[in-house]
Amino acid sequence: MGEVIVITSGKGGVGKTTTVANIGTALAMLGKSAVLIDTDIGLRNLDLVLGLENRIVYDLIDVAQGEARLEQALVRDKRFDNRLVLLPAAQVKDKSALETEAFVRIVDVLAPQYDFVLIDSPAGIEQGFQNAVAGAKQAIVVTTPEVSAIRDADRVIGLLEKRGLYGPKLIINRLRPQMARAGEQVSIEEIVQILGVDLLGVVPDDEAVIKMTNEGTPVVLEAKTRAALAYRNIARRMLGESVPLMNFEEHTGLFSRMRRLFGW
Amino acid sequence: MAATAPRIHIKGTRDGLVFYFDPTCSIDELLSTLSYRLEEGLDRLAGRGGPTPVVLHFGSRYVPEDVLRAILAEFERRPSLAVREVVRDVYLKEEVEAMLRRARTHTEVGIIRSGELVESEGDILILGDVNPGGVVRAGGNIFVFGQLAGCAYAGVGGRHRLIVAHDMRATHLSIADVHAEDVPPAYYGRGAFVRLEDGALTFHPLTALRTLDVSSTA
């Protein structure tokens, strides 16, 4: 029986979809099978980030409304021997088109067939969020080191707990270690202290993510980047490995190393 | 009137006069007896220093609010007497229930997150943090054994209460509908409590709790 995990954040634009794409890809790279479900009906993105847009025939709503079989709607990523599978959202329908019961049924069918079912939740705490959460057994909350994102993450953790999803895991996205060190950005410690949940991983802000996302290749495939390492670490932690947080002190540029040398 | 058994028994004690009201007679009888007895002889107490403290004992009689008000008005007309306490053995069920609700301490374990509301007519004890955007609303006192970064409204309904926090960073504070401006920098992030003094909220360090005059806040 696979693990069913919803990835959510409350606030939009913090990197839910990018996180889902990269964690899913990393799990596939580690030999696991994963199905990624995009529940952002009407604003589908996950297919773009994975570079699978042109292979979509049917979508989640078609399956939920009985117009297509589940097998027909699944888009298999050939890069990983079909271990990575996408169930795309509909683009021409809106969020009210998905009924909670139908969604939960689909998740229940997928869960035994894959090691992981990752549900990409839409932003907000309305019906779309409720649907996405309804099928999940665990939750990952994504936030960025901004007060607004942290506040929304706090709210979402409260809502998750109210629905029985206790102890969600936290991913801090787009951390700028230099800014956090200088006190210009909320630090990892402060975020963990406020939210009071376990930290699953920290992804540093990395231009490679933007570039690769636009190309439709999850950044985790680009082994050299620090974001890729962070996503791989997260995937390994999800498999039960104990991987320490990466050291953000290392690999800083020559300039800042010089600066530290001169002590200012 | 005087021929019948006394409807009101007055006893002098060291602490003042205690009025025992007969719980079996009618209310009309009680009121007329009271004005008669007060008229009769107690005016001799006038002019002897301050007003004499008075305790009213109603025993097993249920005293409706309007009757109690009439009786208290009777005493107020006489400046030589000051009612200090009213003792009643009988209350309405709903009054007792309200008293129980106010006397109860509601304990919440865990984090009160943004968008969450904890409410009680009595005291509230939070074993955890109140995050920004979280709201705690109590008829009584609020105690936070953690960081208070959200909103805390104590003494809702007009009672003078305390807000105590291990780590005070509240966004909004109020006691009995009196609101506080920002937490002063000297108390921000520290153990502190807030009380209502002379119509304004004042901040104090936690250590001042030891010397707090509880009677003024109870």
C-alpha distances out from residue B1 to A4, B7, B9, B37, B177, Å = 85, 9, 14, 10, 50
Alpha carbon of residue A4 to chain centroid: 13
Cα(A131)–Cα(A138) distance, rounded to whole angstroms? 14
Give the pLDDT of residue A87.
96
The reply to whether B103 and B192 lie within a common domain is yes
Using a pLDDT cut of 90, give the percent of chain B over it: 43
Decide if pLDDT at B174 tops 50.
yes
Decide if pLDDT at B82 tops 80.
yes
| Residue-wise pLDDT tens digits, A80-128 | 989 999 999 998 887 778 899 999 999 999 999 999 999 999 999 999 9
CA-based nearest distance A64→chain B, Å: 32
Using a CB–CB cutoff of 8 Å, tell me whether A159 touches chain B: yes
- The H or E element containing residue A259 is helix A254-262
**Looking at the domain assignment, is residue B52 inside a domain?**
yes
The reply to whether B183 and B131 lie within a common domain is yes
With beta carbons under 8 A apart, name residues in chain B contacting A196.
Answer: 111, 128-129
Number of domains in chain A: 1
Cα(A137)–Cα(A158) distance, rounded to whole angstroms? 16
Q: Which of A224-238, B23-37, B103-117 has the lowest mean pLDDT?
A: B23-37
Two structure tokens written together for A27 = 């799990």
Q: What angle do CA A185, A191, A196 make, to 5 degrees?
A: 175
Give Dmax (Cα) for chain B. Answer: 72
SS3 assignment, position B130: strand
CATH number, domain containing residue B26: 3.30.70
The reply to whether B105 and B38 lie within a common domain is no
Q: Beta strand A3-8 with A75-77: parallel, antiparallel or unpaired?
A: unpaired
With beta carbons under 8 A apart, name residues in chain A contacting B114.
Answer: 151-152, 154-155, 158
With beta carbons under 8 A apart, name residues in chain A contacting B128.
Answer: 196
Last residue of a domain, one of B70, B90, B110: B90
Last residue of a domain, one of B90, B125, B159: B90
Two structure tokens written together for B87 = 């003792």
Name the residue range of residue A134's domain.
Answer: 3-262
The reply to whether B72 and B161 lie within a common domain is no
CA-based nearest distance A144→chain B, Å: 17
> Mutation test of the interface with chain B: which of A129, A146, A154, choosing the one with the most B Cβ atoms within 10 A?
A154
The reply to whether B122 and B179 lie within a common domain is yes
ipTM > 0.85 (yes/no): no
Number of domains in chain B: 2
Burial of B198 (C-beta count, 10 Å sphere; 0-12/13-18/19+) = exposed
Last residue of a domain, one of B90, B117, B151: B90
Two structure tokens written together for A159 = 């809502």
**Looking at the domain assignment, is residue B3 inside a domain?**
no
Give the pLDDT of residue B63.
87
Decide if pLDDT at B1 tops 50.
no
Decide if pLDDT at B54 tops 80.
yes
Two structure tokens written together for B154 = 């104590």
pLDDT band, very low/low/confident/very high, at B130 (cuts 50, 70, 90): very high
The reply to whether B82 and B105 lie within a common domain is no
Which residue bears the tokens 């401006």? B181
SS3 assignment, position B202: strand
Mean pLDDT, rounded, for A135-154? 95
Give the pLDDT of residue A25.
96
The reply to whether B112 and B188 lie within a common domain is yes
| Residue-wise pLDDT tens digits, A233-258 | 999 999 999 998 887 765 556 666 66
Interface contacts (A, B; CB < 8 Å): 26
pLDDT band, very low/low/confident/very high, at B27 (cuts 50, 70, 90): confident
- The values of phi and psi at residue A178, to 5°, are -60, -45
Give the pLDDT of residue B44.
62
pLDDT band, very low/low/confident/very high, at B218 (cuts 50, 70, 90): very low
**Looking at the domain assignment, is residue B77 inside a domain?**
yes
The reply to whether B118 and B86 lie within a common domain is no
Give the pLDDT of residue A188.
93
Give the pLDDT of residue B168.
96
Cα(B76)–Cα(A223) distance, rounded to whole angstroms? 88
pLDDT band, very low/low/confident/very high, at B217 (cuts 50, 70, 90): very low
For chain B, list residues whose CB is within 8 angstroms of any CB belonging to chain A: 111, 113-116, 128-129, 131-133, 149
CATH number, domain containing residue A247: 3.40.50.300
The reply to whether B212 and B108 lie within a common domain is yes
| Residue-wise pLDDT tens digits, B178-209 | 998 789 999 999 999 999 988 899 999 999 98
| Residue-wise pLDDT tens digits, A165-223 | 999 999 999 999 888 888 888 999 999 999 999 999 999 999 999 999 888 999 999 88
Residue A178, CB half-sphere, CA atoms under 13 Å: how many? 10
Cα(B34)–Cα(B54) distance, rounded to whole angstroms? 13
The reply to whether B83 and B104 lie within a common domain is no
Name the residue range of residue B71's domain.
Answer: 8-90
Asked whether the beta carbons of residue A155 and residue B132 sit closer than 8 angstroms, the reply is no
| Residue-wise pLDDT tens digits, A68-78 | 999 999 999 99
**Looking at the domain assignment, is residue B195 inside a domain?**
yes
**Looking at the domain assignment, is residue B2 inside a domain?**
no
Option in B115, B116, B129 nearest A196 (CB): B129
Give the pLDDT of residue B215.
53
CATH number, domain containing residue B130: 2.160.20.70
The reply to whether B174 and B143 lie within a common domain is yes
CA nearest to A173, candidates A198, A146, A197: A146
Closest residue in A to B147 (Cα–Cα):
A194
Q: What angle do CA A223, A225, A230 make, to 5 degrees?
A: 85
Give the pLDDT of residue A192.
95
Q: Facing residues of B200 across strands? A: B197
Give the pLDDT of residue A261.
62
Closest residue in A to B128 (Cα–Cα):
A196
Asked whether the beta carbons of residue B131 and residue A194 sit closer than 8 angstroms, the reply is yes
Burial of A19 (C-beta count, 10 Å sphere; 0-12/13-18/19+) = buried
Cα(A116)–Cα(A112) distance, rounded to whole angstroms? 9
**Looking at the domain assignment, is residue B1 inside a domain?**
no
pLDDT band, very low/low/confident/very high, at A59 (cuts 50, 70, 90): very high
Alpha helix segments (H runs only) across chain B: 27-40, 65-76, 93-103
Mean pLDDT, rounded, for A150-168? 94
CA-based nearest distance A142→chain B, Å: 16
C-alpha distances out from residue A127 to A11, A98, A157, A254, Å = 15, 9, 16, 49
SS3 assignment, position A140: strand
CA-based nearest distance B131→chain A, Å: 7
The reply to whether B36 and B104 lie within a common domain is no
